[in-house]
Structure 1
Amino acid sequence: MRQWAVDEMHLRRFAPVVSHCEIYQTVRLIESDERYNEDHRLINDKPTFDKWSLAPRHGSGHTKSGIYFLWERHTEASTVTLILPHNCPDKIRAPYIKWLEQWNGSVVRAVRIFVAPDGSEIKAHLTAQEIDEKEMVCCDVNAGLRIWSDFGIHKDGYGRLFVTAGDVSDDERGRIIQRVQELGNYRNLALLGFPTVQQYGPDVDQLEQQLSDHAKRVANASDDESDENDEDLLQQLANISSQLELIRSATSFRLNATTAYAEVAADRLNALNVQAVANYQSLTDFTERRLVPASRTCSVFRDRLSHIAERISRVMHTLDVGIDTRIKAQNLSLTQSMERSTQLQFRLQTLVEGLSIIAAAYYLVGLIGYVTKGIAAFPSGSKADIFVGAVTLPVILAIYLLVRSLRGKVLKENDANKD
């Protein structure tokens, strides 16, 4: 990974910017299925460059006439930059500008930057480019470079930025302009999350209301007079949770990206060391006036979704506890009912056993009577009485042995089933 780490540190180098030139830069959102077209444009459909370098995530080109090209691929966007010398004829620059403007993807930001040696002709340039003075941003940044812009979109689809060259090298001027541009680019990318919040805000309001109503019904479910059904409550809660997950899935990437972009924009703003110019709003004022509230709104919206998920979990836990409590109460009632039934069966069994004593005594007396009649009839009495008296005791013994054998078999089968 060593070479990759070194290349990564050198990835975002800006080209040198001379003291009098014009820069075109666009930032475009590019879908994954459009990346092939972008690669084709970079490899096979490009204007003439005397020097050309291309890597998977960045590329650059240079002509002898002083035209520089820079391309950089981000996670979801691409930045394309053209640096044109001030005296470059329209015939030479036109193919390069057309190539940049026909780039695939949706434009997030497009800016024309005019770099002048000093501020002597800035007012004339501002008037010529129809800059709105009421929206004018003017301030000094690193190394005393002064910038002017209304950060609006003009008739040609580009914004306007005027920069005085300052007393710095071309390389340092390029790095400073790169910071200014990255601030604007990441600012616009961060603001993309705000429409997402506005789009899904009403849906989240509705979910919160549904969840509040559901929590009330769960609370009332413990009342004996409530007609609420546990299964219906669980199904409604599952529907709310499903809708929430759909919203989180649709907004998660954009909200996380907004947080990341806003932090990078804030870093670039701090690195510029902005110094205000009297009677004008500074770059800091312009950036923080809307970016900070928008990024905080997105952050609050993301936290709100997390809190709703936590509330759903708590309501589900409350419902589970209620259901568990009712099940335990039902089990207790069933146990008590079984205990009463057992006690009743025991009393009936005791009664039957008491009655069985009478029956046993009756049959025992009858058996004794049969034996007595047989003895009294022996030897010359009734043969039937003698026979009944003789077989009574063997029959009792045979029945005893049979019952004992059957009882032993039943007990053995029961032991085998336990094993």
Structure 2
Amino acid sequence: MVFTEHPLRRGLVREMHLRRFPQVPVPCEIVQMVWVIEEAEREQERRMMDAAPGGIDFSIDEEARHVSATAKSGATFIWEKHTEASTITAILPPEAQEGQRKIVDWMENWPGAVVRATRLTIEADEDAAGQRFDEMEFYEDDLVSCHLSGGARLWSDFGIHEGYGRTLIAANGAPPRDLGRIVQRVQELGNYRNMALLGFPLVQQYGPQLGALERRLADYGQMLEHDPKSDDEALLDQLTGLSAELALVRVETGYRLGATRAYAEIAANRLEKLEVRRIPGFPSLTDFTERRLLPAIRTCESFESRLGDLSERADGVIALLNTRIDTRIKAQNRDLLSSMESSLGIQLRLQSLIEGLSIIAATYYAVGLIAYLVKGGDALGDGFGADAIVGLAVFPVIAAIYFFVRHQRVKILETDEKHANGKGAADNGERK
């Protein structure tokens, strides 16, 4: 290659071919199991694949997500790795069914937990399928039958018989490759249906808790509206606790509900591709799926919608309460400023009084000093009498001291105002 290849290109191409299903021979038995596997169990799964019966070498690497291999007996094994599950399938033609018990034992010991296990019996036509009907032991009241794309016919009661679901399919002339696609879609429809339904028990579990949280939020909202003198801090603590519980429910259910939605969409797509045609007297695959799957999915969607709506309402109530708390704090600050302003006025009047008294005291001492000077001068020669000079000096001294104090006070106030204006201008400059 002379061009630069994107590092993800080949992985994307492999992804497009991951789910190829091999040709299905007629007749045959197909055993398939879907296991929900934790990440810690993946290494054990790899060891199980190394111990596959019949000497099959899966030869998988760390990046492998789909592997198939054929044994000498003609049995075909398929392994698929999904995000949270693995699917393992054994296609057993008549010549490979002698060792079926060994193969099934190996599959039944897979790590994880089975979410779906099925046995499909494939026959050439409806007459041959009818001969196998008795051994299927279907529950007649639950029996589903319909024609699928390509003319194949399906029978199943979708119950569990000895741990497995049972399905009977008549190929009715469908070529092996087309039959493989039909079988794959039928199986994927059931697999994704079961995976989607995993979210339903979770919704049933958390539904009562969500209802209780809704009632609590309604009570808090009523308290906020009708009790303006309530303890806002205590109410805020209660609302915060409710929001924390809602967040925990979202964490516990978020992934599962998202997966439920995705699996349900895939199941609907597979059902559409099967081109189901109804047979009089039997419910079809479409009837069964819509009757059982859709109500559960609608319930999950409703729960998810309620959870999101409740979270938004809780945030709204908290925002209103915060607004009320802020308003009260501002009112308290306003009252405090008013009280401080009144105190400052009183302090200013007291200061003026003290200034007046200070002037009198300063005048007294200043006149006393002048009296000493005048008396000293009088002792040196004739002139005005000392008492007269002291009396005349009192009023000029008072005026001089008064204007001096006033001048100093005005000067201090002007200096403080200039300092405040300069700081405000600097703050405005920083904001710009």
In the superposition, the TM-score normalised over structure 2's length comes to 0.83
- Which residue of 2 is the match for residue 393 of structure 1? none
Superposition TM-score, scaled by structure 1 size = 0.85
CA deviation profile, 1:84-113 (whole Å, cap 9, x unmatched): 1135452x3322122112212111111110
Counterpart of 1:114?
Answer: 121
Q: Distance in 1 between matches of 2:328 and 2:226?
A: 13
Question: Are the counterparts in 2 of residues 179 and 268 from structure 1 also a CA contact under 8 Å?
Answer: yes
The alpha-carbon deviation at position 340 of structure 1 amounts to 1.7
1:219 equivalent in alignment to 2:221? no
Matches within 5 A, 1:90-109: 90=98, 92-109=99-116
- Bigger shift: residues 300-309 or 53-62: 53-62
Secondary structure of 2:132's counterpart equals: helix
Q: Residues 329 and 221 of structure 1: is their aligned pair in 2 closer, same or farther, counting only changes over 3 Å?
A: farther
Specify whether residues 87 and 178 from structure 1 end up closer, same or farther in structure 2 by C-alpha distance, changes over 3 A only: same
Match of 1:284 in 2: 286
Aligned to 2:64: 56
- Say whether residues 1:189 and 2:195 are aligned partners: yes
User: Partners of 2:226 and 2:377 in 1: how far apart?
Assistant: 83
Mapped partners of 2:358, 2:218: distance in 1: 66
Q: Measured at CA, do residues 51 and 301 of structure 1 come closer, stay the same or move farther in structure 2, by a change above 3 Å?
A: closer
Counterpart residue number, 1:391: none
**Cα distance in 2, alignment partners of residues 151 and 132 from structure 1:** 9
Contact 2:54 2:71 in 1 (8 A): no
1:83 alignment partner, one of 81, 88, 91: 91
Looking at structure 1, the residues matched to 278 and 50 of structure 2 have their Cα atoms a distance apart, in angstroms, of 44
Letter in 2 for 1:198: Q
Paired with 1:202 and 1:263, the residues of 2 have a C-alpha distance of 27
Could you tell me which residue of structure 2 aligns to residue 171 of structure 1?
177
Counterpart residue number, 1:21: 28
Unaligned runs of at least 5 residues, structure 2: 1-7, 391-397, 421-432
SS of equivalent residue, structure 2 residue 54: coil
Query: What code does the residue aligned with 1:131 have?
Result: F
SS of alignment partner, residue 307 of structure 1: helix
2:423 aligned partner: none
Distance verdict in 2 for CA 1:36–1:132, change over 3 Å = same
**Cα deviation, residue 83, structure 1:** 0.8
User: Structure 1 residues 115 and 52 mapped into 2: Cα distance closer, same or farther (>3 Å)?
Assistant: farther
Q: Report the residue type matching 1:62 in the other structure.
A: T
User: Quick check: 1:132 aligned with 2:134?
Assistant: no
Q: Percentage identity across aligned positions?
A: 49
CA contact (8 A) 1:47 1:99 kept: no
Q: Assess if the C-alpha contact under 8 Å between 1:191 and 1:294 holds in 2.
A: yes
| Offset at residue 231 of structure 1 (A) | 2.8
Q: Quote how far apart the aligned CAs of 1:163 are.
A: 0.4
Classify the secondary structure of the residue corresponding to 2:127.
coil
What is the CA-CA distance between 1:240 and the residue it aligns to? 1.3
- How far the C-alpha of 1:19 sits from its partner, in A, is 1.9
Moved more, 332-341 or 319-328: 332-341
| Match of residue 237, structure 2, among 235, 238, 261 | 235
CA distance in 2, matches of 1:352, 1:59: 100
- Structure 1 gaps of 5+ residues are 389-395
Query: How many Å separate the matches in 1 of 2:147 and 2:354?
Result: 109
What is the Cα deviation at residue 5 of structure 1?
1.5
Give the C-alpha shift of residue 330 in structure 1. Answer: 0.8
> Which residue does the alignment assign to 1:36?
43
C-alpha separation in 2, matches of 1:89 and 1:209: 60
Is the contact between residue 32 and residue 118 of structure 2 (CA under 8 Å) also seen in structure 1? Answer: yes
Q: In the alignment, what sits opposite 2:148?
A: 141
Partner in structure 1 of residue 12 of structure 2 = 5
SS of alignment partner, residue 120 of structure 1: helix
Closer, same or farther: CA 221–59 of 1 in aligned 2, 3 Å = same
Q: CA deviation at 1:311?
A: 1.6
Q: In structure 2, what is the Cα distance between the partners aligned to 1:380 and 1:359? A: 31
**Superposition misfits of 4+ residues, deviation over 6 angstroms:** 50-55
Contact 1:27 1:78 in 2 (8 A): yes
Structure 1 range deviating more: 198-207 or 211-220: 211-220
Q: Structure 1: which amino acid aligns with 2:139?
A: D
Taking the aligned partners of 2:239 and 2:57, their CA distance within structure 1 comes to 65
Residue 126 of structure 2 aligns to a residue whose secondary structure is coil
Q: What per-residue deviation string (whole Å, max 9, x for no partner) do you get for residues 330-373 of structure 1?
A: 11111111222222233334444455555555555555544443
Give CA-to-partner distance per residue, 1:222-257, whole Å, 9 cap, x none.
Answer: 3xxxx6333322222221122112211111111111
Aligned letter for 2:185? R
Tell me the alpha carbon deviations over residues 261-300 of structure 1, each in whole angstroms, 9 at most, x when there is no partner.
0000000011111110001101001001121111121122
* Distance change in 2, residues 1:352/1:46 (3 Å): same
Q: Number of paired residues?
A: 412
Per-residue deviation, 1:205: 1.5
- The one-letter code of the counterpart of 2:156 is S
Contact conserved, 2:73 with 2:95, CA < 8 A, in 1?
no
Residues 318-337 of structure 1, C-alpha deviation per residue, up to 9 Å, x if partnerless? Answer: 11111110111011111111
Does structure 1 residue 267 correspond to structure 2 residue 266? no
